[in-house]
Amino acid sequence: MRLLITGAAGMLAHDLLAAADAGGIEYTALTHAQLDITNPAAVASAIGETAPAVVVNCAAWSDVDGAESREPEARAVNGDGPGHLAAAAARAGAWTIQISSDYVFDGSKREPYVESDRTAPLSAYGRSKLAGERAVARAAPHSHTIIRSSWLFGPGGRCFPAKILNLASERDVIDVVDDQIGCPTFTGHLAAAILKIGSTRPAGLLHVAGGGGCSWFEFARAVVESAGLDTEVRPCSTRDMPRPATRPANSVLRTERITEAPALPAWRRGLAEYMALRAPAR
């Protein structure tokens, strides 16, 4: 299985490359500087030159709040770009794996979201990711997997635990919202699942996220406790900390496709592995 991995400088790709190396899987990894997925001619050329069996799109506009004022740019990267990749991959006989988001939902459901639930994004970012899902499905109707995940964190980029650790080193008290819940997902665990999906190639939508669920407040408190810090973490409401982009109150994902979607470890295990990677070598 030969992979083409786009967005190779990003957080998820960092662990995907490591997992591929560990598994002896051949790949070509292209950063944004090497391949702009919004350029269909460049995409077609890259796929023609690398001849992958599976294209994994890790390229994304990830600035959720920034997308509110720059929606056309976010949509070009998250919506149009995946469609260009899927179309070129389909012409070359390759499978496409697109990484999507819990933000395609409005968060009003009381139970976890499954693949068949109605999408209704609240933000420009969510709309752009949903556009990407639809573009991939249109361009490669029989040769794609769309993976929705939630609250990614890992050592290869900026993420929530790193932000909390930085704040905890500067403050005695941190306020964190407790009325938004989701599934923190360690990129090391998701990367391994992506490689499995690249091998088994289940078609359509899959929800793949960290086991369990928690609020941002609970996640932050676990981070601080794991680091052995004395910083107080206090709960607050979303109204107390307004942001440009509206977040779904419920981002917990589960799957209806239990025989096809890899089950990830609990988010606390992912956090433990993340913290171990951050610990200084002795």
Q: Annotated catalytic sites, by residue?
A: 125
- The answer to whether the beta carbons of residues 202 and 261 sit under 8 Å apart is yes
Whole-angstrom distance, CA of residue 88 vs CA of residue 54: 12
Reduce the DSSP state of residue 174 to 3 states and report it. Answer: strand
Write down how long the chain is.
282
Q: Is 160 left (phi over 0), alpha (psi -120 to 50) or beta?
A: alpha
With a CB cutoff of 8 Å and minimum separation 6, the contacts of 46 are 4, 30, 35, 88
The identity of residue 115, as a single letter, is E
Strand pairing category for 27-30 and 3-6: parallel
